[in-house]
Amino acid sequence: MIILSSQDKTMPDKAEWNEQEFRTFLLIHASHADLEFTDDEREAIVESVSAETFEEIYARYEEMGEYEIIQTIMDYKGLYYPTIDRKEELLSIIQKQFSADGHISKLEKSLMLFLDKLL
């Protein structure tokens, strides 16, 4: 395991999260792109996972800093989305999440460009 901060938080082992949990994590991160996490965005995520899973992943997300979030995305992307087709599928899911609150902000568009490069 890799120590990621001075607070002794550690990144999950690659086998710790399944694909759905990683996707939940990524959607939570995407939903925070415009610095506002709305009830509509939350509900859009919870529709695809149990409320318990959402709360567990959200609690982990809230503990992480930006570096840890990006590192987690980097570690899991190759595990669950290793091909261009799978990457496009994931970006489509993220795009839908951006629309959950009725509009796509400039910050969300910027994050989409970043994720397109990162993934």
Mean pLDDT of the 76-89 span: 89
pLDDT score of 53 = 93
If one counts the domains in the chain, the total is 1
CA angle 110-85-81, nearest 5°?
75
DSSP secondary structure string for all residues of 64-85: --HHHHHHHHHHHHHHH--SHH
Q: Is residue 12 domain-resident?
A: no
**Alpha-carbon gap, residue 71 to 91, rounded angstroms:** 18
Give the range of the structural domain holding residue 94, as residue numbers without chain letter: 19-118
Q: Is residue 7 domain-resident?
A: no
Whether residue 4 contacts residue 74, with contact meaning beta carbons closer than 8 Å, is answered with no
Q: Say if residue 107's pLDDT is above 90.
A: no
Q: Is residue 5 domain-resident?
A: no
pTM of the model: 0.74
Query: Any bridge partners for residue 10, and if so which?
Result: 3
Structure-model confidence comparison of residues 52 and 115, the more confident one: 52
Q: Is residue 89 domain-resident?
A: yes
Provide the 10 A C-beta neighbour count for residue 112: 16
